[in-house]
Amino acid sequence: MNLYQSQNLKIQNSLSGKKENFTSINEGHIGMYVCGPTVYSNVHLGNCRTFMSFDMIFRYFKHLGYKVRYVRNITDAGHLVDDAEEGEDKIAKKARLEKLEPMEVVQRYTVDFHNVLQKFNFLPPSIEPTATGHIIEQIEIIKDIIEKGFAYEKNGSVYFDVVKFNKTNEYGKLSGRKLEDMIANTRTLTAQDEKKNSQDFALWKKAEPQHIMRWPSPWGDGFPGWHLECTAMSTKYLGETFDIHGGGMDLKFPHHECEIAQAEASNGVSPVNFWMHANMLTLNGKKMAKSTGNSLLPEEIFSGNNTILSKAFSPSVVRFFMMQAHYTSILDLSNDALLASEKGFNRLLDALAFLPKLDTDTASSFDVKAWKQKCYDAMNDDFNSPILIAQLFDAVKYINLIKEQKETITAEDKTLVENTMYTFVFDVLGLQVKNESQNDEGKLSGVVELLIQLRKQARDNKDFATSDKIRDELMALGIQLKDGKDGTTFSVA
């Protein structure tokens, strides 16, 4: 029997606005699609938080025994500046400014994206498709939607007819918006506008002569609309209806709303059973924005190379910090919050390191089985990682009291605590033990470099006795100094 059969998992469904019991469409299998990055710049911390939330969710599903097909796309075309229906493609604009080919931009920032996620200890998705790799599929969906009467072509562009769609379906049901209100709050169409209605959105855009990202289509050279790629890739790899679609809260409207409309117009069925949305990350109580200087890149946190934080923080400390808030809550990052998280993270790791050394007794003074189920109950309540962490720290407190001989534990319960802690800390939350050997190497290098400087000063002062003593003492410890024309280096025997 798989774990998922004994655990009652509830998920907050953005479509209904309620927590609902989760049952997969195909027993034992889950199809999950998450909107990935638009690769025109370094991945920012807010994006990382969203992807980290779904990495944790992916990990928990796998732990429960589900076979998960996790699809997370790469947007490498079709995403226009300011999410508007006109203007430049974000990647094409970056390519023009930096005098690069668009695919050079894509490659550079896709590599950056993967490098950052690897440092955060993300599991790779099952499939990572690209928008440019699925142009044919997108064109076929457009042809299908036109044939079914929900889209129209105008001057080489194709638009989705939202008003006509809304007569038989409900546009706005995910975001809770009414089409009538949306139309009333938008500008009146001018004679130059190609759209029939203000809320219509592009499925395909005609490429103007200066537009460098373009593909042939039945309507002329152009490029797909941003919303279309996710419909094409999610349904191709997960089917017309699949279990979970996730992304940031900012994508709920219009992106996910348009996805629903496209899929229902093309396939006649609702595409997703559970819509999940992760909330935003703020910095010092304000929205992150490059324009105001209130922003941080992950690498700037890891290196300490910034003017906002007092020191560098490891990827696992940052991950632990993010796991301390529920994925649907706004989370504020600050120097104090990271320092507190680092302290808590180290306390957790210290308890885990001491756990195997605990003395056992004939009885346990703590109900370990009940505690273990509380850990599952937290995750089963819409992946409530902060409550899970609170349960883990109950175990930390218990471990420390046993260490002080104020509590007792049996050998069987000790094994159960070990297995449960390791499962949730490393497998589910995705945290990592800090690499002490790397830290030690850095400290050793710093000490030896200091001694090399002291030795150089001694030689400059013709104090050869001290100079030789430093060299000989280091040699006795297995550290050999090598003097050369570019200075002194060392090697460890």
pLDDT digit string (tens) for 381-399?
999 999 999 999 999 999 9
- Rounded to whole angstroms, what are the CA distances from 180 to 154, 161, 184? 24, 14, 6
Report whether pLDDT(177) > 70: yes
What pLDDT is attached to residue 401? 97
Q: Is the peptide bond before 102 cis (omega within 30 degrees of 0)?
A: no
Q: Which tops the pLDDT comparison, 437 or 244?
A: 244
d(CA 425, CA 319): 11
What pLDDT is attached to residue 190? 58
Mean pLDDT of 470-492: 80
CA atoms within 13 A on the CB side of 332: 8
Mean pLDDT of the chain: 92
- Rounded to whole angstroms, what are the CA distances from 190 to 151, 164, 270? 20, 20, 34
Instruction: Spell out the domain ranges in the chain.
Output: 23-278, 282-428, 436-492
Q: Backbone phi, then psi, for 203, in 5-degree steps?
A: -95, -35
| Contact residues for 231 (Cβ-Cβ < 8 A; gap 6+) | 141, 259, 262, 263, 266, 271
What pLDDT is attached to residue 428? 98
- Concatenated DSSP letters of 446-480: HHHHHHHHHHHHHHHTT-HHHHHHHHHHHHHTTEE
Identify the weakest region by mean pLDDT among 82-91, 157-166, 334-343, 409-418: 82-91
Q: Could you report the per-residue pLDDT of 326-367, keeping only the tens digit for each?
A: 999 999 999 999 999 999 999 999 999 999 999 999 999 999
| Contact residues for 152 (Cβ-Cβ < 8 A; gap 6+) | 146, 158, 159, 161, 196
Query: Could you say which architecture CATH assigns to the domain 23-278?
Result: 3-Layer(aba) Sandwich (3.40)
d(CA 111, CA 296): 19
Tokens matching residue 259: 């996805």
Q: Backbone phi, then psi, for 78, in 5-degree steps?
A: 90, -10
What pLDDT is attached to residue 294? 81
Contacts 24+ apart (CB under 8 A), 268-271: 269/240, 269/241, 270/241, 271/231, 271/234, 271/235, 271/240, 271/241, 271/242, 271/245
Q: Could you report the per-residue pLDDT of 52-87, keeping only the tens digit for each?
A: 999 999 999 999 999 999 999 999 987 876 555 666
Q: How buried is residue 456: exposed, middle or buried, by Cβ count under 10 Å (0-12/13-18/19+)?
A: middle
Q: Which tops the pLDDT comparison, 340 or 491?
A: 340
Identify the weakest region by mean pLDDT among 42-56, 273-287, 382-396, 443-457: 443-457
Tokens matching residue 262: 């496209």
Q: Could you report the per-residue pLDDT of 429-441, keeping only the tens digit for each?
A: 999 987 544 455 5
Report whether pLDDT(466) > 80: yes
Per-residue pLDDT band at 188 (split at 50, 70, 90):
low
d(CA 294, CA 107): 27
d(CA 229, CA 240): 14
d(CA 131, CA 233): 8
Sheet holding 331-333, edge to edge: 286-287, 281-283, 331-333
Tokens matching residue 250: 């900012």
Fold of domain 282-428: Four Helix Bundle (Hemerythrin (Met), subunit A) (1.20.120)
d(CA 466, CA 472): 10
What pLDDT is attached to residue 250? 94
Is residue 128 within 8 A of residue 229, CB to CB? The reply is no
Report whether pLDDT(488) > 80: yes
Report whether pLDDT(486) > 70: no
Q: Could you report the per-residue pLDDT of 246-264, keeping only the tens digit for each?
A: 999 999 999 999 999 999 9
- Token look-up 């950056």 returns 112
Report whether pLDDT(97) > 50: yes
Tokens matching residue 181: 């209100």
Which SS3 state, helix, strand or coil, does residue 24 take? coil
What is the CA 339 to chain-centroid distance, rounded?
Answer: 22
Is residue 116 within 8 A of residue 49, CB to CB? The reply is no
**What DSSP element (H or E) covers 201?**
strand 201-206
Which pairing describes strands 242-248 and 272-278: parallel, antiparallel, or unpaired? parallel
Tokens matching residue 319: 């991950």
What pLDDT is attached to residue 132? 96
CA dihedral 326, 328, 332, 337 (to 10 degrees): 10
d(CA 431, CA 408): 28
